[in-house]
């Protein structure tokens, strides 16, 4: 398995709606395995394929002891809004804001082998599913912010040096870092996996 490079805000792949998966097989299984490894290496709660440069409707998650993946997810909100729970994103590192989300969702999709999956989620897991599904639709959580939170987020992004963050993140990963295109890159002086 390979730790993939995470794309940062400003990368067009994060703003492009992902395509439906049409072929199930070893390439898809490898992508999911690599996404799981990448998500764990950065201590993420979830990771969508566009975040690693792959424009497919796939995401992985690991929240409160629940771990898995969903291919071609369809999300239905079925609960009230959560109030002021903090949200952040691996593709917009270093900032987080309170964002109301539905407290309960129903997620339907497929496993990596093409078997139907149906998951009911509440709380943090429901938030994760909504966040990752937004990624698949070309949206970031900051797009949902309003008022002073939105202004603060935009200021932080304008003042941020995300190309530096990307290089710093890569340099902290293990010596064999994979790109989103399946190539291995050996980085001199690389340290252990970073968060």
Q: Could you read off the pLDDT of 68-105 as tens digits, one per residue?
A: 999 999 999 887 777 678 999 999 998 999 999 999 99
Domain for residue 71, yes or no? yes
Domain for residue 178, yes or no? yes
Residues found in the chain: 195
What are the two backbone dihedrals, phi and then psi, of residue 117, each rounded to the nearest 5 degrees?
-125, 135
What are the two backbone dihedrals, phi and then psi, of residue 90, each rounded to the nearest 5 degrees?
-65, -25
Q: What's the pLDDT band for 162 if we cut at 50, 70, 90?
A: low
Q: Number of folded domains in the chain? A: 1
Its pTM stands at: 0.81
* Residue of 187 and 120 predicted with greater confidence: 120
Q: What's the pLDDT band for 194 if we cut at 50, 70, 90?
A: very low
What is the extent of the structural domain holding 128? Answer: 3-186
CATH of the domain at 150: 3.90.45.10
Q: Is 115 a catalytic residue?
A: no
- The catalytic residue among 87, 104, 132, 148 is 132
Neighbours of 102 (CB within 10 A): 19
Q: Which two tokens stand for residue 127?
A: 């938030």
pLDDT of residue 164: 52
């Amino acid at each position: 398995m390979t730790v993939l490079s995470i794309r940062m805000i400003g990368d067009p792949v994060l703003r492009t709606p992902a395509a439906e998966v049409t072929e199930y097989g070893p390439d898809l299984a490898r992508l999911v395995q690599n996404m799981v490894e990448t998500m764990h290496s950065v201590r993420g709660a979830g990771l969508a394929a566009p975040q690693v440069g792959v424009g497919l409707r796939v995401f992985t998650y690991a929240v409160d002891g629940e771990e898995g993946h969903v291919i071609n997810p369809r999300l239905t909100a079925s609960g009230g809004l959560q109030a002021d729970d903090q949200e952040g994103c691996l593709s917009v590192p270093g900032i987080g804001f309170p964002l109301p989300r539905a407290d309960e969702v129903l997620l339907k999709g497929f496993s990596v082998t093409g078997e139907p999956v149906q998951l009911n989620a509440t709380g943090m897991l429901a938030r994760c599913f909504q966040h990752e599904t937004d990624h698949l639709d070309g949206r970031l959580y900051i797009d949902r912010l309003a008022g002073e939170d939105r202004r603060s987020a935009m200021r932080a992004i304008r003042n941020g040096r995300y190309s530096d963050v990307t290089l710093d993140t890569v340099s902290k990963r293990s010596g064999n870092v994979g790109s989103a295109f399946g190539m291995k890159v050996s980085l001199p002086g690389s340290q252990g996996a970073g968060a």
